[in-house]
Structure 1
Amino acid sequence: MKKISFSGYSFIVLSLSSILTQAFRHTPTQPPTANANGDVKPQETLAVHNKARAMVGVGPMVWNETLATYAQSYAHKRARDCAMKHSSGPFGENLAAGWRTMSGPVATEYWMTEKENYDYYTDTCGGDGVCGHYTQIVWRDSVRLGCGSVRCKNDEYVWVICSYDPPGNYIGQRPY
């Protein structure tokens, strides 16, 4: 396990065992057209991710139903308290919570605002010190994406989680 700290914010990155690695290397699927994962909007979420990646010369991701199922399952576990806690699972992970209008594309656009904090040449986060969500989105080796969402029990907030395989944000490595 490697721990990465971006100005006080910690990101846990876990290595996949060879068994898990093989389990998630199946043929990629296209995002479903139905809104099967709550407010995720898979096609739109994938498109926003891939637009960000194209802007820095990184190839596109593919939607992965196994990752989406993992993210959705974890989102359901958080529905009662809607706490912003990482799953500590084997994937890269971005979390967001917002009002009823929160969705996968909105969360991704929000994470993208961290781009202005990232300095590629020094591989550091400036500004408010947060850029790990952005760097996970554009991490060259992360090629599979799956997201889930849930409306919290108070029915005011929507919680979005996106999982990335393989995970990114390794110390000493630039995202692209």
Structure 2
Amino acid sequence: MPRPTARTIKAATAVSALASLVALAGPAEAASARPPLPSRTDTAFQNECLTAHNAYRARHGAPNLTTDQALVAYAKQRADQITRYDGLEGTRSQPASRQYGQNVHWYRSFTPGRTASCTAAVKSWYDGGRTYDFAHPGFSTRTGSFTQVVWKGTTKVGCAQATGQGPSVYETYVVCAYQAPGNVTGRYRENVLPRR
């Protein structure tokens, strides 16, 4: 199996990153796929995602993001892949594109119709930064979602939400894609700034 390039490390939740690595072992098998969860992505959802991202980025001196429709389409595609192949724990989801940064949030509920908001997803990614060491900047699976959210060089975002009845619980996935991707080795100090 070829090693991933050291130049760029994609941001995702620790579980998502592991799922992507496991997925490199082989192609998805159509026979094991489940129907994807329905997309609940609309303009209001995009605006919510943008507002949440920009509020956290402002704390770190990062410029506002703008919504990009190509990234929205990619995020929808990723949400479809993730929900089709057993969610974040599945081994058959295709790996994320190296062209974009990515964060994935999973929420479960035993109550049908109860979903996670984009605000809650972005907060969970940002809260991962509580353990980020600004004196020794770099990537870790615990803080990679945080660093992608506040990455100064990122200018565009597109998000998608898929929600519905999973195999045992009601599930919501929020996927956000970023351009330019964050978490570039050797570029943390100038892109992940301490809170003002």
TM score, norm. by length of structure 1 = 0.73
2:105 to 96, 108, 132: 96
2:145 is aligned with 1:141: no
Structure 2: how far apart are the matches of 1:138 and 1:104? Answer: 16
Is the partner of 2:61 in helix, strand or coil?
Answer: coil
Contact 2:40 2:160 in 1 (8 A): no
Contact 2:138 2:185 in 1 (8 A): no
Structure 2 vs 1, CA of residues 138 and 56 (structure 1 numbering), >3 Å: closer, same or farther?
same
Segments of structure 1 that go 5 or more residues without pairing to the other structure are 13-34
More strand by share: 1
Pair member with larger Rg: 2
Question: What does the per-residue CA deviation read over 1:73-101, in whole Å, with 9 as the maximum and x for residues that have no partner?
Answer: 22122223223567421200001100332
Q: Where does residue 41 of structure 1 map in the other structure?
A: 45
More helix by share: 2
Segments of structure 2 that go 5 or more residues without pairing to the other structure are 21-38, 109-113
Structure 2: how far apart are the matches of 1:152 and 1:95? Answer: 16
Identity, % of aligned pairs?
25
Structure 1: how far apart are the matches of 2:164 and 2:151? Answer: 30
Contact 1:40 1:105 in 2 (8 A): no
What is the one-letter code of the residue matched to 1:135?
T
Q: How many residues matched?
A: 150
TM score, norm. by length of structure 2 = 0.66
What is the one-letter code of the residue matched to 2:102?
E
Deviation at 1:124, TM superposition (A): 4.5
Q: Where does residue 117 of structure 1 map in the other structure?
A: 131
Q: Where does residue 167 of structure 1 map in the other structure?
A: 181
Q: Where does residue 163 of structure 2 map in the other structure?
A: 151
Is the partner of 2:41 in helix, strand or coil?
Answer: coil
2:69 is aligned with 1:55: no
Contact 1:45 1:104 in 2 (8 A): yes
Contact 1:68 1:148 in 2 (8 A): yes
Structure 2: how far apart are the matches of 1:138 and 1:153? Answer: 32
Question: What does the per-residue CA deviation read over 1:95-136, in whole Å, with 9 as the maximum and x for residues that have no partner?
Answer: 11003321221100111111211121211578xx61110000
2:84 is aligned with 1:76: no
What is the one-letter code of the residue matched to 2:68?
N
Structure 2 vs 1, CA of residues 93 and 125 (structure 1 numbering), >3 Å: closer, same or farther?
closer
Is the partner of 1:79 in helix, strand or coil?
Answer: helix
